[in-house]
Amino acid sequence: MEPRAVGVSKQDIREQIWGYMESQNLADFPRPVHHRIPNFKGSYLACQNIKDLDVFARTQEVKVDPDKPLEGVRLLVLQVIPLP
C-alpha cells in the first residue's frame, strides 16, 4: 500500500484498502469486499481479544453492529454477559 497523499478522500482510502484486501487474499466471506465493511481472515480471533479488556469485564450492556466481522463479538457477549 502506498502512503496516503494530502487531499485524498475517505472513499479513495476505502477503495485502496478494499483492493489491497482482495489482492492479498485477506478477505473472508462475504466477498467481494467492495462497498461494505469487510470481513477478514482472523476476525473471529480478533474479536476474542475483547474479553481481555478491563472495560469489557465491567460493562453491563454492549451494542454490537450486525456486520459479519463482529460476529465473534456478538457470540462472546451472549456467552459472557447475562441477559436482563
In a domain, 1, yes or no: no
Count how many Cα atoms sit within 13 Å of the Cα of residue 70 in the half-sphere of its side chain.
10
Q: Structurally, how many domains does the chain consist of?
A: 2
Average pLDDT over residues 52-59: 93
Instruction: Flag whether pLDDT at 64 surpasses 80.
Output: yes
Query: Residue 49 — pLDDT band, cuts 50, 70, 90?
Result: very high
Average pLDDT over residues 6-27: 94
Query: Residue 76 — pLDDT band, cuts 50, 70, 90?
Result: very high
Q: Helix or strand or coil: residue 8?
A: coil
CA angle 84, 78, 38 (to 5 degrees): 130
Query: Residue 1 — pLDDT band, cuts 50, 70, 90?
Result: low
Check whether residue 46 and residue 84 sit in a common domain.
yes
DSSP symbols for 57-74: HH-S-------GGGHHHH
Residue-level pLDDT at 79? 92
What are the CA-CA distances from residue 68 to residues 28, 38, 55 (Å)?
Answer: 10, 8, 23
Check whether residue 30 and residue 48 sit in a common domain.
no
Domain that holds residue 51: 42-84
